[in-house]
Amino acid sequence: MEETTPKQRLHLVMGGRVTDPRGLEFQDPESLHVVGVFSSYDDAVEAWRGQAQRTVDDAEMKYVVVHIHKLLTPDD
C-alpha cells in the first residue's frame, strides 16, 4: 500500500490600517505588517490573536490569516 504524505498547508498572518473597520481594504498595502508564515492553522491563529489583542484599542488596525495553500492549489 502506498503511503501518502499530507499536503503542506501554509498560512500567512498580516495586518495594517484599514480604510473601514468593517472591511479588508488596507490604507497603505506597501506598509503591511507581515507577522509570518506558519505551517499550521493553530500556530497562525495564535500569532494573529497576539497581534489583534495588541492593537485592540485601534479600530482601524486589522490582522488577518490568509490561507496561502488555497491560493497555491485552488483546485484542491
- Given a cut of 90, whether residue 73 has pLDDT beyond it is no
C-alpha pair distances (Å), 15 with each of 23, 42, 50 = 12, 18, 12
pLDDT tens digits for range 4-35: 566 789 999 999 999 999 999 999 999 999 99
Question: Residue ranges per domain, the chain?
Answer: 11-72
pLDDT-based confidence at residue 1 (cuts at 50, 70, 90)? low
Query: Looking at the domain 11-72, which fold is it?
Result: Alpha-Beta Plaits (3.30.70)
Cell match 503591511: residue?
Answer: 32
Confidence (pTM) = 0.84
pLDDT for res 17 = 96
**Residue that wins the pLDDT comparison between 35 and 74:** 35
